[in-house]
Amino acid sequence: MATDPTTRHRAIERVLRSGEEQQRQHLDDLLVIEEPMELRIDYAIAGKRASRSLAITMRTPGDDEDLARGFLLTEGIINSEADLLSLKRCTDGQGEESPNIWRATLAEGCNFDPGKLQRNFYSTSSCGVCGKASLDALHHQGVMPVADGPAIDAELLLQLPEQLCAAQATFDRTGGLHACALFNARGELLDLAEDVGRHNALDKLLGRALRRGQLPLGDRILLLSGRASFELIQKSLVAGIGLVAAVGAPSSLAVDLSDTYAQTLVGFLRDARFNIYTHPRRLT
Binding-site entries: 268-273
Residues β-bridged to residue 10: 29
Residues β-bridged to residue 57: 37
- 110, 127, 130, 165: which is the annotated catalytic residue? 127
Residue 127 known to be catalytic: yes
* Torsion angle (degrees, nearest 10) of CA 119, 146, 67, 207: -140
Q: Report, as residue numbers or ranges, the catalytic residues.
A: 127
